[in-house]
Amino acid sequence: MRHSLTASILSHRDLGDAQFEMTVLAPAIARDARPGQFLQALYVGAGSPLMRRPFSVFRTDPEAGTLAIVYVARGAFTIGMSALRVGASISLVGPLGNSFEPDPRPDVRHMLVAGGVGAPPLYFLAREMVAAGHAPESICVINGARSRDLLVAGADFAAVGVTLRETTDDGSAGRRGTVADELSDQIAASGGCAVYACGPTPMLRAVASLCVEAGVSCRVSLETVMPCGLGVCMGCIIKLRNDAEPEGYTLVRSCHEGPIFDAAEVIW
Ligand SMILES: Cc1cc2nc3c(=O)[nH]c(=O)nc-3n(C[C@H](O)[C@H](O)[C@H](O)COP(=O)(O)OP(=O)(O)OC[C@H]3O[C@@H](n4cnc5c(N)ncnc54)[C@H](O)[C@@H]3O)c2cc1C
Ligand code: FES
């Protein structure tokens, strides 16, 4: 169920390298949010943004009524947001969109593949899966970025106890290369795999193509630009393969029918 509320900021941590973790009091959203769902946020403050921006839910504590997001301050909206102090208010609409559901097949190896700020929803997924009884060793997180300082949530993944593989384009942390390079090796070494991925479009395209070729089930969360996030403006349309249509595809709203789709259906 979707809620629209004004949340009070309880903590706002500077994680370094322009990354921030903001925890807010938002009991209704904290109770209902599932891994992969997002919020549309708006605040009054520096720059006074006019349009909301989407942020994935990073973690929730339903008992305390709190939730957190992790974000990178990289443009006017997020730099302004990073200046908000504890006690300030932020307007949130959510939880929005669909969620990642763990593949129910027994003995499957769950591969969570994150690029940059694609990490927060996959951390939420890893945490929820372990809490629901999945063995941590059945979950492998591949977390990648251009360089060490751009890796997101590394320590959080490690704290959940899952297997963590890091990749950086420049080799400053983990394997030099991309998450797709590491995923390719992991798929070759594993029996059955299920892949869940979130990150920039070129990364998702590479992961999707690898999984389709290997016949591995793969769900991708798209970082489409979302002007409204509420299914109204049609600014987030993507194409899904559909052979029953004369054009061979169906148009869907990433914010409403997604943001998570079967990688084999997405037309990139
Ligand atoms: C479903 C979803 C979940 C997201 N979760 C996170 C998250 O957990 N943490 C995080 O740091 N970022 C997340 N993002 C991206 C985040 O919304 C953008 O980084 C943010 O909007 C950047 O805004 P800005 O004004 O600071 O930067 P800008 O300089 O305005 O934009 C920087 C980049 O952000 C993207 N962007 C801009 N406007 C939008 C928009 N309306 N919708 C989507 N992307 C936009 C574009 O790729 C742009 O190049 C998510 C995006 C989506 C679609
Ligand atoms: S962002 Fe407006 S319809 Fe999806």
Q: Are residues 190 and 106 part of one domain? A: yes
Q: Is the CB of 233 under 6 A from ligand 2?
A: yes
pLDDT at 50: 84
Question: Is residue 39 a contact partner of residue 77, using CB atoms and an 8 Å limit?
Answer: no
- Asked which of 96, 121, 156 is the last residue of a domain, the reply is 96
Q: Are residues 126 and 69 part of one domain? A: no
Q: Are residues 213 and 128 part of one domain? A: yes
pLDDT at 191: 78
pLDDT at 125: 98
What's the predicted TM-score (pTM) here? 0.95
pLDDT at 16: 87
pLDDT at 57: 98
Say how far apart CA 10 and CA 25 lie, in whole Å: 7
Report in angstroms the alpha-carbon separations of 176 from 47, 61, 112, 168: 38, 35, 19, 5
Question: Is residue 238 a contact partner of residue 215, using CB atoms and an 8 Å limit?
Answer: no
pLDDT at 145: 94
Q: Are residues 114 and 139 part of one domain? A: yes
Q: Are residues 127 and 39 part of one domain? A: no
Cis bond upstream, residue 27 (ω within 30): no
Taking the centre of ligand 2 as the mean of its atom positions, its distance from the CA of residue 95, in whole angstroms, is 15
Q: Are residues 108 and 189 part of one domain? A: yes
- Give the structural domain span for 234: 224-268
Least Cα distance to 121 among 219, 25, 202 occurs for 219
Question: Is residue 94 a contact partner of residue 57, using CB atoms and an 8 Å limit?
Answer: yes
**pLDDT of 47 strictly over 80:** no
- Asked which of 44, 78, 96 is the last residue of a domain, the reply is 96
Q: Are residues 252 and 162 part of one domain? A: no
Q: Are residues 92 and 107 part of one domain? A: no
Mutual angle of helices 179-189 and 201-214, in 10-degree steps: 20
Specify the ligand 1 atom closest to the Cα of 58: 8
Token pair belonging to 236: 């987030």
Q: Are residues 105 and 15 part of one domain? A: no
Fill in the amino acid letter for 214.
Answer: A
Residue ID of nearest Cα to ligand 1 atom 20: 53
- Asked which of 68, 96, 124 is the last residue of a domain, the reply is 96
Specify the ligand 1 atom closest to the Cα of 51: 41
Taking the centre of ligand 1 as the mean of its atom positions, its distance from the CA of residue 225, in whole angstroms, is 7
Q: Which residues contact 189 (CB under 8 A, 6 or more apart)?
A: none
Taking the centre of ligand 2 as the mean of its atom positions, its distance from the CA of residue 255, in whole angstroms, is 6
Burial class (CB in 10 A: 0-12, 13-18, 19+), 181: middle
pLDDT at 56: 97
Taking CB atoms and a 6 Å cutoff, what residues make up the pocket around ligand 1? Answer: 38, 53-56, 69-72, 74-78, 117, 120, 223-227, 259
| Count of structural domains within the chain | 3
pLDDT at 42: 95
**pLDDT of 33 strictly over 90:** yes
Domain of 89, CATH number, reads: 2.40.30.10
Q: Are residues 230 and 241 part of one domain? A: yes
Q: Are residues 42 and 21 part of one domain? A: yes
pLDDT tens for each residue of 172-219: 999 999 999 999 999 998 878 999 999 999 999 999 999 999 999 999
Q: Are residues 118 and 202 part of one domain? A: yes
Domain of 199, CATH number, reads: 3.40.50.80
**pLDDT of 46 strictly over 80:** no
Residue ID of nearest Cα to ligand 2 atom 3: 231
Domain of 249, CATH number, reads: 2.10.240
